[in-house]
Amino acid sequence: MWISLIAFAAISLHVAGILAAMHAVVHARTAQGAFAWALGLVLLPYVTLIPYLFLGESHFSGYVDLHRQRQERLFILRDSPEWPDRGAYLQRHATEQDQRYAAIGAMLKTRLHGGHGLTLLIDGEAAFASMLQAIGEAERYILLQFFIIHDDELGRRLQAALLERAAAGVRICVLYDSIGSHDLPRHYVTALRDGGVTVHPFATRRWRNRFQLNFRNHRKVLVVDGYRGFVGGLNAGDEYLGRKPPLAPWRDTHMRIEGPAVADLQRSFTEDWYWVTGEHPPFQPPREHCGNARTMIAATGPADRQESCSLFFTQAIHAARKRVWITTPYFVPDQAVFSALRLAVFRGVDVRVLIPIRPDHRTVFMASTLYAHEATIAGVRIFRYRPGFIHQKVMLIDDDTSVVGSMNLDNRSFRLNFEIAALNIDEAFAGEVASMLEEDLANADEIHPDEFRRLPYLRRVAMHVARMFDPVL
């Protein structure tokens, strides 16, 4: 009898594995991912079936339909009753153009706006000092979104600042990712709600989301009173201030934006907020003529019809004629981005990529090491940052363009996460970014092509095995 039960269970698992493999072939976002899942599900359903429930599901039609509806209308905020100009404000700023990045704007249904004042915020102390000051000065509303919020010293400082403003009558909307902030205690959220803050977790499935680990909302956005916006790579936790060894000191970058593009930060937040709550957050138009910079907000995600994050990087790299410098904690590029980097080298572009010297996720680190080796063979200069863990997501193109945001160079950002970044065209601001990156590169060691061959054989094998998992890294 026991043998019969075991045989029945084994046959049932294989049947379930075959059905899941059929689902994977139809729904996987890449051919490599479909092949990997199908092979594992058919041959080893005992091992792969449960992980597929958490990582393989790719259907979240409600959000997709909502997102595409908003994209077709171009700007959700145009029809807001709180905006009496009915879009005239954005139309006044629609003449800003730069053919290098026109394809990005067309793909994302967004625009390059002029008249911005930009402030570079290097590392956590500067970034959170500026953000907490802006929160403390809020008079009407605060829109806040983080992938991770921790109940630690920084998290409680943020909580106290929000509660103080809520008590003063400021309307506050807080969004955090349900998986990224999985260890956020209930009492932290309850205290915010009891104090008048509206706070919700983001999830792509309103039901059975516990079986969905992909499609995380990795965006970091803060908008205060409609005219001050913040975006970058920092989350709300003590490690982002460099207070948690062994990754300390933590190297990261954020930026403050004042000007028309803050409306697009609010649009991105609004789409996420409306999906979770069914309601619109407060809105007021940004101030005009805050500076000379031109800025485009690029909000990408798996609900887009195209693989928008990968294409964003590809087009930006193709635009480079003099240099393209990139810093990323995870260097696991897809073929489109990797080809763009190699082609840039052949055009005579100075291509540099700065990555960590120490891992926070070992499998990703091993895959990154292998890609770094292959990039050096192609002429891309790869550097490892010595002082601590580098988490910033920054790109510098030629002498006038910079990108600061939440996008990593890995498949998770390219295809699985909701991301956001600001593409800025301004020589003065790009000069600040260049000075920052020059200092980072001065504290880094360059990787040479022959270093990989000196590694132990089994370690090289492990790196190749790690790269096989890059569709889910």
Q: Name the catalytic one among 391, 410, 440, 470.
A: 391
Q: How many residues does the chain have?
A: 473
Q: Name the catalytic one among 177, 334, 398, 440.
A: 398
Extract the tokens encoding 233: 């790579």
β-strands 250-251, 389-390: how paired?
parallel
Q: In whole angstroms, how far apart are CA 469 and each of 43, 129, 367, 411, 465?
A: 17, 38, 8, 10, 7
Active site residue 318: no
Handedness of CA 122, 127, 133, 134 (dihedral sign): positive
The candidate with the shortest Cα–Cα distance to 67, out of 284, 276, 282, is 276
Active site residue 244: no
User: Does the bond joining 302 to the residue before it have cis omega, within 30 degrees of 0?
Assistant: no
What is the three-class DSSP state of 172? strand
Q: Name the catalytic one among 93, 116, 220, 318.
A: 220
Active site residue 93: no
Q: Are 184 and 150 in contact (CB under 8 A)?
A: yes
Active site residue 225: yes
Active site residue 14: no
Q: Name the catalytic one among 23, 67, 393, 440.
A: 393
The residue type at 362: R
The candidate with the shortest Cα–Cα distance to 226, out of 177, 248, 197, 259, is 259
Q: Name the catalytic one among 123, 225, 304, 334.
A: 225
Q: Name the catalytic one among 67, 218, 318, 373.
A: 218
Burial of 441 (0-12, 13-18, 19+ CB in 10 A): middle
Residues assigned a catalytic role = 218, 220, 225, 391, 393, 398
